[in-house]
Amino acid sequence: MAKILIVEDEKAINDLVRFNLELVGHECVQTFDGGSGLEEAMRVKYDLIILDVMLPKLSGFEIMECIEGTPTIFVTAKTGAQDRIKGLRLGADDYITKPFNIIELVERVKAVLRRTKSDGEVFEFDDIRIEFHTRRVYKGGEKVALKPREFDLLEVLVNNRNLALSREKLLNLVWEYDYEGDIRTVDAHIQRLRQKLGISDRIQTVYKTGYRFEI
């Protein structure tokens, strides 16, 4: 997957971001102040930088002015519109304010990578091949007909693999935030995915919560 640089001085947050991005298959490098963050960003070509604004030595904004062409998501406690505007003007691809939901961060990372990585992404496991750019799924080389929502659900599960996702979260991510649906819709779609792809053991039910795609 992607090579991601995390520049964040709060160790607990830095570790949380790293842990969750690595869980979904990314390779992460951690830095804890602006100076070493900038040095690392100049030294290696990253697919994405997760950049805090308030940092020792150099601010995230100052770093942003020095690096060009690397997709960046600002993560900051500053909630003022002025800061958001400044961040976006400097060319940030997205802006997240603390406290943030870690699954939302993982999803936004995915969205930015999808926009910025030109090559189509493919995910393979067992005898399954998922092509995200064409939205096609193959099992043992044969195409599996998935409905659009089934594919969306599979994509969310794969992109958040090894994380427990509540039914409400899945409903929000797959059926959009304003969908006034029933969480049983999620169960029905999970059942169909399990059947069509023969991956009952991969999509695990998390007791009283929801589901986890385990790999």
Q: Cβ distance 72 to 96 under 8 Å?
A: no
C-alpha distances out from residue 19 to 11, 47, 81, 151, Å: 12, 17, 29, 26
User: In terms of C-beta density within 10 A (0-12 exposed, 13-18 middle, 19 or more buried), how is residue 178 classed?
Assistant: exposed
Q: Which is nearer to Ca ion, 67 or 113 (CB)?
A: 67
Residue 19: phi, psi to the nearest 5? -55, -45
Taking the complex as a whole, the smallest distance from the CB of residue 83 to Ca ion amounts, in Å, to 13
Q: Which is nearer to Ca ion, 25 or 35 (CB)?
A: 35
Q: Which amino acid is at 56?
A: P
Taking the complex as a whole, the smallest distance from the CB of residue 55 to Ca ion amounts, in Å, to 5
Taking the complex as a whole, the smallest distance from the CB of residue 195 to Ca ion amounts, in Å, to 47
Q: Which is nearer to Ca ion, 9 or 214 (CB)?
A: 9
Taking the complex as a whole, the smallest distance from the CB of residue 90 to Ca ion amounts, in Å, to 17
Q: Which is nearer to Ca ion, 1 or 16 (CB)?
A: 16
Comparing CA positions, the residue from 15, 16, 58, 13 lying closest to residue 39 is 58
Taking the complex as a whole, the smallest distance from the CB of residue 36 to Ca ion amounts, in Å, to 14
Rounded distance between C-alpha atoms, residue 186 and residue 144, angstroms: 20
Q: Cβ distance 164 to 210 under 8 Å?
A: yes
Taking the complex as a whole, the smallest distance from the CB of residue 49 to Ca ion amounts, in Å, to 15
Quickly count: other Cβ atoms within 10 Å of residue 188's Cβ. 11
Q: Which residue is nearest to Ca ion (CB)?
A: 54
Q: Which is nearer to Ca ion, 32 or 175 (CB)?
A: 32
Strand intervals (E) in 38-110: 48-52, 72-76, 94-97
| Interface ranges with Ca ion (CB under 5 A) | 9, 52, 54
Q: Which is nearer to Ca ion, 70 or 76 (CB)?
A: 76
